[in-house]
Amino acid sequence: MSGRRVEPIVGRLDSRVRVPGSKSLTNRALVAACLADGVSVLRNVGLGDDTRAMISCLESLGADITVDGTSARVVGVGGRPHAPRGPLDANQSGTTARFILPLLVLAGSGTITGHPQMRARPMAHLADALRQLGARVDADSLPISVEASTPLGRAVSIDSAVSSQFVSGLLLCAPALPQGLALTLTGEPVSSSYIRMTVSVMRAFGADLSWEDDVITVGPGGYEGVGYAVEPDASTATYPLAAAAIVGGRVIVDGLGSSSTQGDIGFADVLAQMGADVFVDDDRIEIRGSGSLRAVSVDLGEMSDTAPTFAVLGARAVGRSSATGIGFIRSTKESDRVAAAVEELARLGIDAAVEDDGFSVQGGPHHHAEVHTYEDHRMAMALSLLGLVDTPVTVLDPSCVSKTFPGFFDMLDTMRAEARTEPLVLAIDGPAGSGKSTVARNVSERLRLPHLYTGAMYRSVTLAVLRSAVSIDNDDAVTRAAERAELSVSAHLVTIDGIEVTADLRSPEVTSAVSPVSASPGVRRVLAERQREWARVRGAAVLEGRD
């Protein structure tokens, strides 16, 4: 099996990227446009393998689809898809398999099959829901054949605790059903943000829909052809954003921001919890990282596609991180992303474990290894990130990224070429009381640059000296203690020798000793270099203080 060796980046990132259009939004919009009356024009469509599988199936159902660059012109079938002449192939696309199967009910008959990986993924709950409508469905996994005739029913219930794609597939076909649909959700919905995404797309194409408690009611009447702009893919955006947090420096993802309908936009909050500086505007996300992360525990149930990315971040964090709320992805995604993430991190020398509803990861150094991707694009893209720091990683079967992001490795190469090897530093000095702290904070906020108050480093070294039990009057001993201390200082997190000490820096003991320790020429020499390194790690910074 061929592999791609991902080498560490020299310097710190300084990139502005635009990721492909959301596969999830693209495939939902394509289905609505296919069923619509009239012509729709979709812009910024994501053109990975999953989208191509969807387009091929929709064309077999009678839609006329013309793709030009990242735009697609769709002439809809007015709610009456044609019965396909042969089996439709969903390839490895879960959205295609689960959205097309209900459309076969509208067409009256048809068969859908897929890649062996897709044939192993669950379909039974969706098949049972279609039987409730009155369709004859011959199997509970691919390949599945459907036969249906009017009148079709209206009331259906489905267990929404298995996959949100089952719910979305039923909803997308509902406006074309003769009586519409009254869909009752049983169980606690997983990834409900994806159901809300489906509702948003349906309304954009004119569907009549209401959602109260656990019942979603869709009126008949169909869709209308519209112009629709697809947002950049929030799941895919986690890779360049996480790269900034891991490597250090800055990455901006354009076209995606606070107005997004995608649940995975919430991953920016996870990066902030782990210590990255995060700025979310209406139409862009900016991450500034130092390469220093703290361990966190998070529920990823509403953004489960980000689980492999989080596993890699946990491998770089100080402490043990855990992800919960994702037990359902073990059987509903392209691979068992819980067990696979744990196994591949272990292959790289990282301590990770499968837990009841997710996994945990102990941060630490990794060694080189060939990692398996399980024909899973998200595993391939996430594991590649570890190769960007310290030690290379060889990713086997890297071509599987074409499922959603064919240009992924080209993006990494561009980010590598744009990395800064020399920091961009703004140093602000002045006597006590001159306002340099206020100016430094305001400048860092306005320019979105990390800010270092050098006094925090002196307090950190003072604490290290006090804990070493040397006399603060012994300059040589104090200097050696400063040299030995492994410091990590950010706006949110200070560690000494890998242990968080943020709350201890303002203790009375440190406050009384910081002046004599700071007066040591040896300490000032050591910390001047540490401050330069702090700026180098971030690529750009505002430094305040007399050094």
The residue assigned the tokens 């300084």 is 14
Measured CA angle at 377 (ends 126, 61), to 5 deg: 45
Candidate list 50, 264, 277, 305, residue with the active-site label: 305
Q: How large is the C-alpha radius of gyration of the chain?
A: 27
Burial class (CB in 10 A: 0-12, 13-18, 19+), 262: buried
Sign of CA dihedral 171, 175, 178, 179: positive
Distances (CA, A) of 232 to 132, 180, 275, 300, 341: 36, 31, 25, 20, 25
Half-sphere exposure of 411 (CA within 13 A, CB side): 23
Q: Using alpha carbons, select from 247, 180, 267, 237 the residue that is nearest to residue 390.
A: 247
Distances (CA, A) of 292 to 189, 331, 538: 35, 33, 10
> If we measure between CA atoms, which residue out of 253, 349, 352 comes closest to residue 311?
352
305 classed as catalytic: yes
455 alpha-carbon distance from chain centroid? 35
Q: State the Cα torsion 262-268-269-272 to the nearest 10°.
A: 180
Q: The sheet that has 284-289: what strands, in order across it? A: 13-17, 249-254, 284-289, 277-280
Q: Supply angle C-alpha 204, 283, 49, rounded to 5.
A: 65
CB neighbour class for 221 (10 Å; exposed up to 12, middle 13-18, buried from 19): middle
CA 488, 235, 194, 300: dihedral to nearest 10 degrees? -30
Catalytic positions: 305
